[in-house]
Amino acid sequence: MDFFQDALFSAIAAIGFAAISNPPRRAYLYCAVIAAAGHSTRFLLMEGTGLRLHIVVATALASLLIGVLAVLISPRSRVPAETYLYPSLLPMIPGIYAYRAFGGLVMCLYHGGEASFGHYFYLFAHNGLTCFFILLSMAVGATVPVFMMKKISFTAMRRHE
């Protein structure tokens, strides 16, 4: 049940993020499907399989899947892959890690004792680095398919005669 909830909520979020950039109407369904596939893949890699991958590795693999799906769908719908790519990635933004990193930083500044400062600095560094590497893995994982499949991704808008 958690798998289906994860897919549903990420699809809804992707539709909302896509609506901000005003794509063609036919793009909304593709954004939802790609986001659901990517986010639920990350969920399965972290929770559903025996692998139990770290969130950074799972995000990189899920972003790679999102990039591949966006590039493969774009020529059929004659919409650039980026139209599907970015709204589908946005539900995987690591907001909780950014929030915890900022909270750790504030608590570092608030507490003056060495022991409590060290603890809160650890929380800041751990969550901040995790957030950074998740964002990095999203960017790299999503753009690798665009450049590896140049022939497909850069001809999506051209008509074949």
Whether 156 has a pLDDT exceeding 70, the answer reads no
Predicted TM-score (pTM) of this structure: 0.85
Instruction: Give 1's pLDDT tier (boundaries 50, 70, 90).
Output: confident
Q: 54: helix, coil or strand?
A: coil
Residue 159 CB contacts under 8 Å (≥ 6 apart), including other chains: none
Q: Kindly provide the b/e burial profile for residues 37-72, where b requires at least 16 CB atoms within 10 angstroms of the residue's own CB.
A: bbbbbbbbbbeeeeeebebbebbbbbbbbbbbbbbb
* Cα distance between the two ends of the chain: 46
Distance in angstroms (rounded) separating the CA atoms of residues 104 and 101: 5
The answer to the question of residue 117 being in a domain is no
Instruction: Give 161's pLDDT tier (boundaries 50, 70, 90).
Output: very low
Which tens digits make up the pLDDT trace of 68-79? 999 998 888 888
Whether 117 has a pLDDT exceeding 50, the answer reads yes
State what percent of residues in the chain have pLDDT above 70: 94
The answer to the question of residue 32 being in a domain is yes
140, 144, 147, 148: CA torsion to nearest 10: 160
Least confident of 10-24, 30-44, 99-113, 142-156: 142-156
CB count in 10 Å sphere of residue 150: 10
The answer to the question of residue 110 being in a domain is no
The answer to the question of residue 79 being in a domain is yes
The answer to the question of residue 35 being in a domain is yes
Q: Domain count for the chain, please give it.
A: 1
| Residue ranges making up the domain that contains 44 | 2-92+141-153
